[in-house]
């Protein structure tokens, strides 16, 4: 049977969808390989949030093309948002046997492999394109995955799409309007993965906090979280519920009430900041101020002082001056943020920000990015040092002869030294005491 190699770029949702694709294909008899030179065909689950991700995708395609595969499939965000651009580039770069699949089509990749006549053994020089618009999509397809290849945690996609139209972002065009997996289907998916033995569930979505607002009757994320809490309570096990990302405007009083009461919610909150300047936030079409952001994080910190607080920050947005940058720096310094993802501004064709001037010089952007990365590292260092001596729940991710790798509930990757005779199982939740810090890692012991 044919062997395939898959590469996933971008977000957690893409990773879930890739796991679904892998499971679909392996059930049909295709063989997953981790060696490019063994592959009969390649799959790229693409990302175009930044120019860098787009360029990385093209670089992979060109490399694979040199291996003369039966087929190169580029799926998801890149072909969905920029089909003509990608098709034209493929023709110019002389990429043979190139198949472009949109968001809906990639989830039916097995059908394309089985039914399309031009895939039956001969070369085609012009890219084949199968991309349907997303404007009529009303619901998220349930993606039940029995085993998340190589993963110890179960990721459940409960939402897709976004209509916020932040001025720098192409995602509304690559993912369509917000749509939700109905509550009963979410619970059914969670029950399945719990039965499969997973003890940490990660809820993912393109705009997770929008879950339920398109359903009839309307619901909100806390409604769902309370139902998951009830389901977890019935399991009589120490389970972990993690949320992939939330906007600051979605940390509502209802959410805070749930967070205050939950026995299972992971103390790990990824809340994009993007900028600490109110002027830049307005240009970005973000619907909050720096003060709003700090107020919400303070409320969460009061509930979970042990939490990892992560944030995305865009540096060098058009017209950002030194004053704007200093405001961003001040917000980060004042806040409990301890896990920064710092990105240089990347203009995306078709977005409003592409037209905003003046542009910030590249050397200034680079300097500011480096400054914030260093600031983020310093804050993370302090946080990790404070965790030594603390007891946390953790999920076992990998196991070797004398040590295991685990991820704590508050998102700290750490090593556990295994005493002789101690047997751990991958994916199980256990209690760990952090006993030492070694560089960027903590060392833990099982209690």
**Bridge partner residues of 395 (DSSP):** 407, 429
Contact present, 325 and 58 (Cβ < 8 Å)? no
Q: What is the pLDDT of residue 145?
A: 83
Asked if 287 and 233 sit in the same domain, the reply is no
pLDDT band at 274 (very low <50, low <70, confident <90, very high): very high
Helices (H), 289-398: 290-303, 322-334, 362-387
Among residues 103, 130, 157, which one ends one of the domains?
Answer: 130
Among residues 237, 266, 295, which one ends one of the domains?
Answer: 266
For residue 314 the two structure tokens come to: 């865009």
State the virtual CA torsion across 287, 290, 293, 297 in degrees, nearest 10: 180
The angle formed by the CA atoms of residues 259, 203 and 379, to the nearest 5 degrees, is 65
Among residues 386, 407, 426, which one ends one of the domains?
Answer: 386
Q: What is the pLDDT of residue 123?
A: 76
Note the pLDDT tens digit of each residue in 291-335: 999 999 999 999 999 999 999 999 999 999 999 999 999 999 999
Asked if 250 and 151 sit in the same domain, the reply is yes
CATH, residue 425: 2.40.50.140
CA pair distance 345, 287, nearest whole angstrom: 19
Asked if 348 and 411 sit in the same domain, the reply is no
For 441, the domain range is: 391-446
Asked if 409 and 302 sit in the same domain, the reply is no
Asked if 279 and 344 sit in the same domain, the reply is yes
**For residue 81, what is the DSSP state?**
H
Contact present, 113 and 119 (Cβ < 8 Å)? yes
Note the pLDDT tens digit of each residue in 156-171: 999 999 999 999 999 9
Asked if 252 and 315 sit in the same domain, the reply is no
**For residue 153, what is the DSSP state?**
S
Note the pLDDT tens digit of each residue in 384-393: 999 999 999 9
pLDDT band at 120 (very low <50, low <70, confident <90, very high): low
Asked if 99 and 207 sit in the same domain, the reply is no
CA pair distance 60, 78, nearest whole angstrom: 13
Helices (H), 335-361: none
CATH, residue 333: 3.30.750.200
- CB burial readout 45-71, b (16+ within 10 A) else e: bbbbbbeebbebbbebbeebbeeebbb
Note the pLDDT tens digit of each residue in 328-341: 999 999 999 999 99
CATH, residue 186: 3.30.750.210
Asked if 103 and 115 sit in the same domain, the reply is yes
Asked if 230 and 283 sit in the same domain, the reply is no
Asked if 184 and 70 sit in the same domain, the reply is no
Note the pLDDT tens digit of each residue in 27-56: 999 999 999 999 999 999 999 999 999 999
Through-space distance between the first and last CA atoms of the chain, rounded to whole angstroms: 46
The angle formed by the CA atoms of residues 155, 157 and 162, to the nearest 5 degrees, is 135
SS3 230: helix
CATH, residue 68: 3.40.50.12160
Domain total for the chain?
A: 4
Q: Is 172 exposed, middle or buried (0-12, 13-18, 19+ CB in 10 A)?
A: buried
Is the backbone peptide bond immediately before 217 cis, with ω within 30 degrees of 0?
A: yes
CA pair distance 432, 392, nearest whole angstrom: 5
Note the pLDDT tens digit of each residue in 54-65: 999 999 999 999
């Amino acid at each position: 049977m044919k062997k395939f190699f898959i590469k996933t770029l971008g977000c957690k949702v893409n990773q879930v969808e890739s796991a679904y694709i892998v499971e679909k294909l392996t059930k049909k008899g295709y063989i997953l390989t981790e060696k490019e030179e063994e592959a009969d065909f390649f799959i790229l689950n693409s990302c175009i949030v930044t120019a860098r991700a787009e360029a990385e995708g093209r670089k992979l395609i060109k490399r694979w093309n040199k291996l003369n595969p039966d087929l190169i499939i580029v799926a998801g965000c890149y072909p969905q948002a920029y089909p003509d651009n990608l098709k034209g580039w493929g023709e110019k770069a002389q990429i043979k046997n190139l198949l472009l699949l949109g968001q809906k089509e990639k989830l039916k990749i097995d059908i394309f492999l089985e039914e399309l006549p031009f895939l039956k053994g001969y070369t085609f020089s012009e890219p084949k394109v199968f991309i349907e618009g997303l404007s009529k999509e009303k619901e998220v397809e349930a993606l039940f995955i029995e085993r998340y290849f190589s993963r110890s945690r179960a990721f459940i996609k409960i939402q897709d799409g976004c209509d916020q139209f932040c001025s720098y972002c192409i995602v509304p065009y690559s993912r369509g309007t917000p749509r939700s997996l109905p509550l009963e289907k979410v619970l059914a998916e969670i029950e399945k993965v719990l039965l499969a033995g997973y003890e940490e569930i990660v809820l993912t979505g393109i705009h997770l906090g929008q879950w339920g607002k398109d359903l009839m009757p309307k619901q909100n994320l806390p409604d769902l979280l309370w139902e998951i809490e009830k389901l977890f309570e019935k399991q009589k096990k120490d389970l972990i519920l993690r949320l992939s990302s939330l906007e600051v405007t979605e940390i509502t009083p209802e959410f805070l009430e749930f967070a205050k009461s939950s026995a299972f919610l992971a103390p790990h909150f990824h809340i994009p900041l993007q900028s600490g300047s109110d002027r830049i936030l307005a240009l970005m079409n973000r619907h909050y101020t720096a003060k709003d952001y700090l107020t919400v994080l303070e409320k969460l910190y009061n509930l979970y002082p042990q939490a990892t607080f992560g944030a995305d920050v865009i540096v060098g947005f058009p017209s950002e001056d030194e004053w704007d940058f200093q405001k961003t720096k001040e917000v980060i310094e004042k806040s409990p943020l301890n896990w920064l993802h710092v990105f240089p501004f990347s203009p995306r064709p078709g977005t409003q920000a592409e037209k905003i001037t003046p542009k910030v010089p590249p050397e200034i952007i680079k300097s500011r990015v480096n400054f914030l990365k260093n600031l983020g590292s310093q804050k993370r260092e302090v946080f990790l040092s404070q965790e030594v001596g603390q007891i946390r729940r953790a999920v076992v991710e990998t196991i070797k002869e004398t040590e295991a790798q685990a991820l704590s509930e508050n998102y700290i990757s750490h090593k556990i030294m295994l005493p002789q005779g101690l047997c751990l199982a991958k994916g199980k939740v256990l209690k760990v005491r952090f006993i030492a810090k070694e560089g960027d890692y903590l060392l833990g012991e099982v209690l």
